[in-house]
Amino acid sequence: MRKNLNYDQFLLKVKNIVVFASGYGSNFQATVDAINKGEIKARITGLITNKSEIHVIERAKRNGIPNIVIDPRRFSEPDQYAQVMLKALSKWEPNIIVLAGYLLKIPPLVVDAYAGKIINIHPSLLPKYSGKGYYGLYVHQAVLDNNEKETGCTVHIVDNIYDNGPILAQAKVHVFENDTAQDISKRVRAKELELLPKVISSLINEPV
């Protein structure tokens, strides 16, 4: 007969996710929902933001998820900022780190410490419309300005260059003649909410 695990032993089997976000938190919520449905066999052990008074923090509180605001402007040295981030991550022991609408570059010390374990979702079909300054409506307006016929979103592994790491998955949407940047944003966001949980599931749902 299979021996039952007690609760502490069970928790050792559960994989941990830490999420970074900078705004409303729709991708954060999509990940929470996928966990609650059993589609992702993990738990979110912490949320890191660079801003206070943003909606994603309220989402974390409603779901009992610890959160911390780490604003790089409060630190005189980049390494101090990175060390505070590393301390929080060490406490939350992530198997994977998910950048879900996080608008800052991750410090190299953190990228190196968690090499291959940090993923990001970006609102374009990388390598198009990538790099510093390409986020949100700026991406979608660039798509329109260049008369693209399709766009979408990409999940990729994070390295020390903006939007540069290996691509894990993409989802496409059509660009219509009379679209605005807001129109494209809505369709791309809908794809993001589907794609990110699927990628997280594929990465984390292996035997433990």
Q: DSSP assignment of 169-180, as one string?
A: EEEEEEPPTT--
Angle between helices 55-62 and 26-36 (to 10 degrees): 20
pLDDT means per 10 residues, the chain with 208 residues, are 40 80 96 95 96 95 96 91 97 97 94 96 96 91 97 96 94 96 97 97 72
The question of whether 122 is a catalytic residue gets the answer: yes
Which pair of structure tokens corresponds to residue 153?
């979103």
Which pair of structure tokens corresponds to residue 137?
């409506």
Token pair 């994603």 in the structure block, residue: 56
pTM, entire model: 0.90
Selecting among 122, 140, 156, 174, the annotated active-site residue is: 122
Q: Tell me, what's the pLDDT at 204?
A: 86
